[in-house]
């Protein structure tokens, strides 16, 4: 919906050290906005699939999917496999229904393809956010997603909460790793999951049992 994409983009790449607003995680990332939903956040999985293919065909290697549907789609799955064939990682929001995604999956986060990372949201105490979906098998890791300040489409800034805010932190971390020379989408995924911080509050909630730690992932890449 309107403002949502701007907020997500700011989390990834809002410029830092300029005495303005907020700072994104990967300041030098190039962001390609691809709109697949209408102003009210509605759309079709075929539109999402087309958006993934468009991004991949234009050289994108990290796709942030801060959207979801309870219905799987062969067209969307084909797009994700197309992305895998082109060495592209899909970072997807796990969903905001406080549901067990192992039983009530949200797509594209729930696709089992090895180029997908499903991201839950945690709060500032590394607890699963009250709204966040979770899943010991189907959700990979958590990232901060509760009360995140970022850019808005009116030229200002505002806070928002959701797994939509957690996913772009992981996308930004993947972008940082790519800038450090990690090009394989399989290695990107492994570095991000293997170097998550273990958190007791997240064990049994996400497969890695942890929260994103970009510093550790970068150190491991070195």
- What's the pLDDT tens digit per position in 64-96? 999 999 999 999 999 999 999 999 999 999 999
As a whole number, the mean pLDDT across the chain is 96
Element (H, E) at 150: strand 148-151
Task: Give the span between the Cα atoms of 172 and 144, in whole angstroms.
Answer: 13
HSE on the CB side for 42, CA within 13 Å? 1
Give the per-residue pLDDT at 41.
82
Burial class (CB in 10 A: 0-12, 13-18, 19+), 23: middle
User: Residue 37: which pLDDT band, with cuts at 50, 70 and 90?
Assistant: confident
| Residues whose CB falls within 8 Å of the CB of residue 28, separated by 6 or more in sequence, listed in order | 13, 179
Task: Give the span between the Cα atoms of 168 and 172, in whole angstroms.
Answer: 6
Mean pLDDT of 33-57: 93
Token readout for 102 is 């192992």
- The pTM (predicted TM-score) of the whole model is 0.96
Token readout for 174 is 């993947």
What's the Cα-to-Cα distance from 122 to each of 22, 34, 155, 166, 199, rounded to whole Å? 20, 26, 27, 8, 11
What DSSP character marks residue 37?
S
Give the per-residue pLDDT at 183.
95
Q: Which residue has the tokens 């062969």?
A: 74
- What's the pLDDT tens digit per position in 118-154? 999 999 999 999 999 999 999 999 999 999 999 999 9
Residue 222 has pLDDT above 90, yes or no: no
Residue 114 has pLDDT above 80, yes or no: yes
Q: Please, are residues 145 and 163 in contact by the beta-carbon 8 Å criterion?
A: yes
| CB atoms near residue 216 (< 10 Å) | 16
Give the per-residue pLDDT at 139.
98
Residue 178 has pLDDT above 80, yes or no: yes
Give the per-residue pLDDT at 115.
98
Task: Give the span between the Cα atoms of 155 and 198, in whole angstroms.
Answer: 37
Residue 1 has pLDDT above 90, yes or no: no
Give the per-residue pLDDT at 83.
98
Residue 172 β-bridge partners: none
Give the per-residue pLDDT at 58.
97
| CB atoms near residue 182 (< 10 Å) | 19
HSE on the CB side for 115, CA within 13 Å? 24
- In this structure, of 11-15, 33-37, 48-52, 167-171, the range with the lowest mean pLDDT score is 33-37
Residue 196 has pLDDT above 80, yes or no: yes
Residue 200 has pLDDT above 90, yes or no: yes
């Amino acid at each position: 919906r309107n403002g949502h994409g701007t907020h997500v983009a700011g989390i990834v790449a809002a410029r830092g050290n300029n005495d303005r607003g907020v700072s994104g995680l990967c300041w030098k990332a190039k962001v390609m906005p691809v709109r697949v939903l209408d102003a009210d956040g509605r759309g079709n999985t075929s539109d999402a699939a087309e958006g993934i293919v468009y991004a991949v065909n234009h050289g994108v290697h990290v796709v942030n999917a801060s959207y979801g549907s309870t219905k799987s789609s062969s067209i969307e799955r084909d797009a994700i496999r197309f992305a895998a064939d082109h060495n592209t990682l899909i970072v997807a929001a796990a969903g905001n229904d406080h549901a067990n995604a192992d039983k009530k999956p949200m797509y594209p986060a729930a696709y089992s393809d090895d180029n997908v990372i499903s991201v839950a949201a945690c709060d500032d105490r590394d607890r699963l956010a009250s709204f966040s979906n979770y899943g010991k098998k189907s959700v990979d890791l958590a990232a901060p997603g509760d009360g995140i300040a970022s850019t808005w489409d009116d030229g200002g800034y505002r806070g928002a909460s959701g797994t939509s805010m957690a996913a772009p932190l992981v996308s930004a971390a993947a972008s940082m790793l790519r800038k450090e020379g990690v090009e394989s989408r399989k290695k990107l995924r492994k570095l991000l999951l293997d170097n998550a911080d273990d958190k007791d509050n997240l064990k049994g909630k996400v497969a890695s049992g942890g929260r994103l730690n970009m510093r550790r992932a970068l150190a491991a890449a070195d």
